[in-house]
Every structure is written in C-alpha cells, then in structure tokens.
C-alpha cells in the first residue's frame, strides 16, 4: 500500500536533487568566499533529502483528506493569491490587496460589509507598514497614475 508520506517524500527527494544540481550551475565564488555560492543551496538540498528519507522510511498513517467543498475552497484561495501576485505590478499595491483580502475574508466569514472593511483596512494598513515602517519601494496605484 502506497502511503501519502512516501509519495511526498519521493517528490521532495527529486526536488532536492534538482535543487542541488542547479546549484552547481552557479558561478564560482571569489578568493574571499572559501565556500562559494554553491554551499548554501547544497546544504539546504541535503537537509531536504534527509527529512524526505525519514518520511519515506517511517511514514505516518494515512491522513484524513478534507471533503470536496474544502478542497475547492482551497483551490479558489490559491487562484486568488496567484492572480493577486500577477496584479501587483500593473495595478499597484492598494487595489489588488484590497480585492484579495476582501475575497479571502469573505471566504472565511461570508459577511459582505466585514469583508469590504477588512480588504480596505488591510490594504491601507499593510501599505503604510511596508512603505513607511519597512521602507519598501511600493507603488500605491499603477505607475501610469503616479506622478
């Protein structure tokens, strides 16, 4: 019987090996960096392989997967977040963040007014924190609208 942990462990081993191989395509380091840029990705890949090997050799019991409506809700949330990531650059920070936060808030608790307020509040609050407290280079609106 194939267990979920074993399949996941094998996938992680494959990803880790690919990660390690891609690390060897990095340019060599300089005289002052004895390890070079390959060391860190290689260590991460080795750690992934060790953890995945434990999953393959000692899997847990089969998990209880959520019902179809929950899986569909998770898939919808994933689509919203991917669309949000693609919308940030052309639309600026405020509008896509307000929409994504509002939609995800509505998905958690279906109250329209609360979802709108959460979306707007999170959008403005996060913008202020990221732009002014953390000093990130964000654009509130599309660059064509900013002067």
Q: What is the pLDDT of residues 22-62, one digit of tens each?
A: 988 877 766 666 667 788 889 999 999 999 999 899 888 77
Confidence of residue 99 (pLDDT cuts 50, 70, 90): very high
For residue range 61-91, list pLDDT tens digits in order: 777 888 999 999 999 999 999 999 999 988 9
**What's the pTM value of the predicted model, to 2 decimals?**
0.62
For residue range 110-121, list pLDDT tens digits in order: 999 999 999 999
Does residue 97 contact residue 126 with C-beta atoms inside 8 Å?
yes
* Angstrom distance (rounded) from CA 84 to CA 73: 16
């Amino acid at each position: 019987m194939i267990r979920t942990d074993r399949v996941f462990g094998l996938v992680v081993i494959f990803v880790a090996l690919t990660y390690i191989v891609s690390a060897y395509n990095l340019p060599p380091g300089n005289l002052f960096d004895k390890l070079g840029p390959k060391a860190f990705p290689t260590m991460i890949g080795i750690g992934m392989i060790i953890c995945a090997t434990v999953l393959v050799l000692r899997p847990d019991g089969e998990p209880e997967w959520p019902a179809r409506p929950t899986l569909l809700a998770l898939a919808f949330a994933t689509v919203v977040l991917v669309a949000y990531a693609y919308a940030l650059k052309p639309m600026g920070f405020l509008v896509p963040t307000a929409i994504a936060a509002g939609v995800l808030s509505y998905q958690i608790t279906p109250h329209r007014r609360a979802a709108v307020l959460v979306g707007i509040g999170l959008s403005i609050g996060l913008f202020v924190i990221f732009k002014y407290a953390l000093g990130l280079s964000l654009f509130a609106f599309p660059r064509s609208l900013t002067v």
